[in-house]
Amino acid sequence: MGDHCEQTMRRLNTYIDRELSETEVRKVKAHLDDCPPCEQVFDFQAEMKRLVRKECCTDDAPARLRDWVRQLGAEKPKPAG
């Protein structure tokens, strides 16, 4: 594993999370384009992130909770104090 690989792997999380500066993004991207093994690791970790999101987004709030919140928002309370 070369220096570039190591640097890229260290930045992989922040790259996946879109937390890097543009300059850094360019560096990481350039390396990934050049280095299939690193690119594969990136692909897998990015897919894992997508998987977590996808699996967890299936639970919607129950209708009665939704109604309750809507009612709460519709209340016209007296001014506080």
Partner 1 sequence: MAETGAQIHREAMRRPRLRLLTRNPIQIGVGGAGGVAEVAARGPAVRRAQAVVRAVARPLADVRGGGNGRNRMDQRGVGMSSDFSLFERHIDALYRSALRLTRKPEDAEDLVQETYLRAYRYRNRFKPGTNEKAWLFTIMTNVFRNRLRKRPAPEDPIDQPGTDFDIYDQMRRDGMPVHLMSPEEIIVDRGFGDEVKRALEELPVPMRMVVVLVDVEDFSYKEVASILDIKIGTVMSRLHRGRQALQKKLWEYSGRPKAPSLAVGAR
Query: For residues 45 and 77, is the Cβ–Cβ distance under 8 A?
Result: no
Q: Which 7-26 residues touch partner 1, going by CB under 8 A?
A: 13-14, 17-19
Q: Which of 5, 25, 35, 41 binds partner 1 (CB under 8 A)?
A: 41
4 Cβ neighbours under 8 A, 6+ residues apart: 31, 34, 35
Q: Does 51 bind partner 1 (CB under 8 A)?
A: yes
Residue 75 CA to residue 78 CA, distance in Å, equals 9
The residues that touch partner 1, with contacts defined as CB under 8 A, are: 13-14, 17-19, 36-37, 40-41, 43-49, 51-62, 64-77, 80
